[in-house]
Amino acid sequence: MSNLRDVYIIGVGQTPCGKYPTKAAHVLGREASWAAIKDSGIYARDIEIGFCGHVYQGMGVGQRTLKDIGLVGQPVINVEGACGSGTLSFWEAWRTIAFGQHDVALAWGVENLSKIMSGGPLPLEEDDIEVALGMSMPGLYAMRAKRYMDEYGVSKETLAKVVVKSRLHASKNPIAQFRKETTVDAVLGDPVICDPLTRSMCCPVGDASAAAVLVSGEMLNKIKRDESRLPIKVLGCVAQSGGYASATGLTCDPSENVARTSQMAYEQAGLGPEDMDAVEIHDAFAIAELIVAEALGFAKKGEGSKLIEEGTSNFDGNIAINPSGGLLSRGHPVGATGLLQTVEIVNQLRGEATGCQVPDANIGLIETMGGAQPAMDGITCVVSILGK
Amino acid sequence: MSEEKVEYAKPLPDFRPETKPFWEGTKQHKLLLPKCKETGKVFFYPRAISPFPGSVNMDFDWVESSGKGKVWTYSVHYMGPTKAYKGETYVVAMIELEDGVKMMSNVVDCDPETVTIGMDVEVVFEDATEEVTFAKFKPVQ
């Protein structure tokens, strides 16, 4: 795919993560999109196409968002890929430019979850056999955790340390939903949702939006923009639907999908895990950080816990994982998450992180994992690699 | 004491062309698995095309499982996916059947907190409604 055009992110915007039950999705979306447009320095009407990622927000959210800005007439596509909806909309924006259809695109993700639920697991399709057996998203990851702990001798304390690190990072991030530091004892003392996962090992219900303006390399050279705003290059961007984990059964292991997708993204970028400085990964549950870090190649299989135990994944460690606080603490407003992760990495590479700044961050990676589906290793996985 | 029929309030699976024989089996208290006519191998989850590499088979036999297996992994759930589970503590597990396939199910007829990985289990059938019977598993005594 050597004939792909260069694509750059020239502006980003985000809202704080929290509970805003009175704010409609398009209101949140408008706030983040406008911030991204202003940050890009581009004239708003130069945006040729918009992609809006969301899951539970109903009809025409993308169109309603841009209408409030005054952008009408251009194509707007609402994109759904479970928890990967935000990055799937980013992937759409990237590929429409990379393949030469458009020169300027806006990608944003939005979710107002607190309008539809106060807490508890995300609603799943009730006709699925696994939901009929009482499985939930935390249940799926809890089963993965149990097996992982049994196979590799990992303790509940290590899972708790993932949350402690996440809260530490989030405590410095003004847009994070949980900004109070915690301890291993407090995490383990929380009510158990699905053994071994306690409440704080599960991401919260929350609302937010985040957005990015993408342009082609040709356009970057043409437009008048503020030179102090560093453009960030998209080095790789791959989306893959989940597959059957194996022919003969289920393994409840979304990391297979992550490994497959990230391998393709590394190849596209001509880079490997050792080149990454800052990464935002889909830690919807504490166990996910360990298995996803392994799937991305940051640790050998079964050794993801070493990153936590040795502090390697702290923001100032060798491979900074979730300097924003991740889904566990920054928050997981489903459709917005992928763009929140992308905005964080753009800010890290620009040296403008709102929270913990990763020292000398030149290359970053975003991994989003959408959904649980009977027999499959997820619904959508998107991995993108960005560089300055 | 008269037994009043309590309506089943939890989610129910729907029957798709690929899964219908499985549910017809459980209704007769039989655990049936699809078997690829080309490779002769059983698999799970039921689907319309053979999952085995190289096979173009789209037609299956359904064979009865021994119903015996081991707990591959599990989680004691203190919170369920819907309100119907409120106040319940139950076990969702992946069962590795002797037949060589894994299946998600519940471990029942025991204290949830006594379930372990590797525990020997066997199938039991739970009639939820007139149409739907679940294949669940209990520890082998």
Model confidence over A149-163: pLDDT tens digits?
999 999 999 999 999
Say if B4 falls within a structural domain: no
Cα radius of gyration rounded to whole Å, chain A: 19
Residue among A129, A136, A246, A256 with most chain B CBs within 10 A, to mutate: A129
Note the pLDDT tens digit of each residue in B80-112.
888 888 899 999 999 999 999 999 999 999 999
B22 domain residue, yes or no: yes
- Distance from the Cα of residue A35 to its chain's centroid: 19
User: What's the average model confidence in pLDDT over A258-273?
Assistant: 96
Backbone angles phi, psi at A89, to 5 degrees: -70, -35
pLDDT at A17 over 60: yes
Work out the average pLDDT over B19-41. Answer: 94
> Is residue B70 in a domain?
yes
The CA–CA distances, whole Å, from A201 to A198, A207, B115 equal 5, 19, 22
Task: Report the residue of A118, A124, A125, A143 to disrupt the B interface, i.e. the one with the largest count of B CBs within 10 Å.
Answer: A143
Q: Which residues of A touch B100 (CB under 8 A)?
A: 248
Q: Transcribe A203-259 into DSSP letters.
A: PPP-EEEEEEEEEEHHHHHHS---TTS--EEEEEEEEEE--BSBTTB----THHHHH
Closest CA to A191 of A181, A176, A202, A175: A202
CA A291 to chain centroid, in Å, comes to: 16
CB pairs under 8 A between A and B: 130
A337 touches chain B (CB under 8 A): no
What's the domain count of chain B?
Answer: 1
Sign of the Cα pseudo-torsion (B16, B18, B22, B27, in order) = positive
- Residue B109 counted as domain residue: yes
- Residue B102 in any domain: the answer is yes
More confident residue, A269 or A371: A269
- Which residue reads 């383990």 in tokens? A188
On whether any CB of chain B is under 8 Å from the CB of A196, the answer is yes
Report the predicted TM-score, pTM, of the whole model to 2 decimal places: 0.94
Question: Is A124's Cβ below 8 Å from some Cβ in B?
Answer: yes
- Of A240, A221, A241, nearest to A231 by C-alpha is A221
Domain with CATH 3.40.47.10 in chain A: 7-117+205-232, 129-200+235-387
Q: Does B20 touch chain A (CB under 8 A)?
A: no
Residue B7 lies in a domain: no
**Among 3.40.228.10, 3.20.20.140, 3.40.47.10, 3.10.520.10, what is the CATH number of A129-200+235-387?**
3.40.47.10
In this prediction, residue B1 has a pLDDT band, given cuts at 50, 70 and 90, of very low
| pLDDT category of residue B139 using cuts at 50, 70 and 90 | very high
Q: Please report residues of B whose CB lies closer than 8 A to that of A205.
A: none
Q: Is residue B12 part of a domain?
A: no
Look at the domain A7-117+205-232 and name its fold: Peroxisomal Thiolase; Chain A, domain 1 (3.40.47)
Nearest to A121 among B73, B81, B90 (CB): B81
Higher pLDDT, A42 or A251: A42
Q: Is B9 a domain residue? A: no
**Res. A247: pLDDT tops 70:** no
Q: What is the ipTM of this complex?
A: 0.91
% pLDDT > 70, chain A = 96
Alpha carbon separation from A316 to A282, A309, A320, A360 (Å, rounded): 20, 14, 6, 10
Average pLDDT over residues A76-101: 97
> How close does chain B come to A181, measured CA to CA in Å?
26
Q: Look at residue A307 and give its three-state secondary structure.
A: helix
* Annotation marks residue A83 as catalytic: yes
- pLDDT 10s digits, B52-86: 878 888 889 999 999 999 999 999 999 988 888 88
CA distance A222 to chain B (A): 50
Q: Which of A145, A146, A374 sits opposite B45 (nearest CB)?
A: A374
Domain region containing B47: 17-139
Token couple for A373: 């589906």
